Every structure is written in structure tokens, then in C-alpha cells.
Amino acid sequence: MKSTHELTVLLMSGSWYEENAYMTLLSRALRDHGIEVRTPDLLLFFPLTRTVLRNRDADVMQLDWIYDYYATGDLESRRLNDLVSYLRAAAFLLDLLAVSLLDVRVVRTVHNKRSHEGIYPRTERIVSECVFWVADAITVKCSAAAAEIAAAYRVPEAEELSVVPDGNYIDAYENDVSRATARSDLGIDDASFVFLFFGQVRPYKGVPELVEAFSSLDFSDAELWIVGSPYTDDIEARITTLAAADPRIETRLSYVPDDRIQYYLNAADVLTLPYRKILNSGSAHLGLSFATPIVAPKIGCLPETIPPENDLLYDPAADGLVRALRRAYESPDLDSVGRANHQRARTLNWDRTCELLLDVYAE
């Protein structure tokens, strides 16, 4: 293997996720360390093998999200989607076998235990285990993720996984408006206590449960803002109906441009992330980076990512979310929680992420 400063890395999900902050920040950090990073357009048939053959000087191929390589959901019928997905999965397994014979190091980066809305669980399990078997190295975002992945799949063993936490989002988005300016822009009274849900509205994120929990609280000066693009029309209709029953709930169910993100984060008192399931959370990194206190369940990487000063993590069983919302509302010093979160974000820097990843590349 070459010196790490001479490596050429193929980020295979880069062309699919050009607007993804993780991919942008990772690419930038690697390039700052002298790595040649390529985000190739992925070909329809045998994308891994053909990409490596077109980039014969590449040393490392990093696989982040693999579900998109085979899952199909936009055809005329479920039966047709199923057929095409199974055929694509079979082709992807052949592609994996072929690329394993080439002179490139395959690094699998695991973001989730399973795809969030995965409708092919058996196929996904087979494909994931084959990727683990082919990979020369596997990275996860925290030690809890290593344990969960090892327990969920026959391969790999937990000790075979490398923990490489994500960096922060401090430099990813503008952050130069004050709380007062942000609230004035959004029409929020300065005396209001604002709970914010921010991000794409998807089933696994538990927004209906958040609406129910918030509505059970009798805080007359509190508001819940649900901000983000709905994953489906059905989700949008459900959230709109639920929110309409409580005048304290405001919805902005649309995509938020990067330059508007700071207005919502800086206007909020607390970021609420009521996940039903999660390993790593980009939204949690966003909250830390904006020095925002975070209400979230004690699952996945969240307890390792969020500092102990943020004592708003809850047991997802029973009424944990309701009690966490109340604890946040009654907290005497959320400012100090926010400062601790921002300090944690600063320690989660991309230089450190890059150094850990380069060690994996060079093994």
C-alpha cells in the first residue's frame, strides 16, 4: 500500500449524494490530507467492477449506502418492483464477487443497521453479509454500532470493526444570525419556548409520537415546529392532520435550503429527535454544531455522540419522550447545555475522522 498521502479513493456514493453534508465534508477533509478523491458516476450494470476498471490507479473503494444498488420502488407495480429488485440484487452480488478479485481495497462504511424503509429484509440481509464478507475493512460510527452490527449479522465480529465517528457540521452551514433575528424572521415571539423537529420527515423518525407527546403537555407558551420535507404524500397528510389539532404546532413541510437552516436551529430552544430506531444521526451532529440542546432516545450512537451535560436523552419505553420534553422545558440552564454540545461538536472534527479513516485505508 502506498503512503496515505498518495492514495486515490473512490467514494462510490458521492455522485448520488452530492448535496449530503457528510459526503461533502468527508471529501473535503480527505483532499485536505492530500488524498485524491473521486466520486464516479455509477454505471447501470456492474457499477463496482466497471468503475474500478476505469480507475485502475485507485487504491481504495469506499461503499457507504448499498441499498440503492439493488432496491427499486418507482415502477408501475409492487410485483414488478420486487422482480427488478431481486434481479438487481443478484447482479450486485456478482459485481461484488468480481470486484473482490481486483487490486483495490474495499472499505464498507456502515451508517445504519438496515435501510430505514427497507421492504426487502431478507434480500438486504443477504446482500449486507456478502458485502461484509468481501470487504477488506469495515467502519462504524461508534462502539454501540459495532456491537449492534455484530449481533445483527453472521459476519463480522465486533472486534473486526473500526470505529470512525463523523465530524461536525460547524463549517457546513452559515451560522451568523442571532436568536432574536431568527425568531423575528420566522414570526416567533421572543418569550415562546420552541421545540424543533428538523429534517426529512420519515416513519422511523417518530414525528407522530412527538406530536402526541407535545400535545399532552399543558405549556401555554410552548411551540412545536416540525420542519422538513415529507418522505411521502401519506406522511405529509398524516402530520398535517395531527398538527392541526393543536394550535401550538407549526409545520413547514418542505425542503429547507442550506442558507435557511440556521434560522430554525438558532430560533429553537431544543432540537427534538424522537427516533423509533437509529444508529448514527446527522441531525444530532447538526444540533451539536449549532449549540442546541437535544431531546433524543438513548439508542444507537446517540449516547456516545451527545455529551452527558445534555441530560435530555430518554428511555424510549413508556413515557420517556414526554418526560424528556418536560425536563427540557423546566431546565434552569439550557444555555450551558448548548455550550457543552458545541464543545462536543468541536472535538468531533473532520481532521480526526480523516486520520482514523486513513489508518483503515492503509491497513
Domains annotated on the chain, with CATH: 4-166+349-362 (3.40.50.2000), 179-347 (3.40.50.2000)
As to burial, measured by CB atoms within 10 angstroms (0-12 exposed, 13-18 middle, 19+ buried), residue 250 is middle
Residue 5's pLDDT is: 65
Sites in the chain below the pLDDT cut of 70 = 1-5, 14-18, 73-76
Q: Check residue 207 and give its pLDDT.
A: 98
Per residue in 113-172, pLDDT (tens digit) is 988 777 788 888 999 999 999 999 999 999 999 999 999 998 778 888 999 999 999 999
> CB-based contacts of 228: which residues, under 8 Å, 6+ apart?
197, 198, 199, 200, 201, 252, 253, 255, 256
Contact 324, 295 (CB under 8 A): yes
Q: What is the pLDDT of residue 350?
A: 97
Question: Dihedrals φ, ψ of 191, to 5°?
Answer: -85, -10
Q: What are phi and psi of 125, to 5 degrees?
A: -65, -45
Residues 310, 347 contacting (CB under 8 angstroms):
no
Cα 11 from Cα 81, distance rounded (Å): 27
Buried b (16+ CB within 10 A) or exposed e, 40-57: bebeeebbbbbbbeebee
Amino acid 338: pLDDT: 98
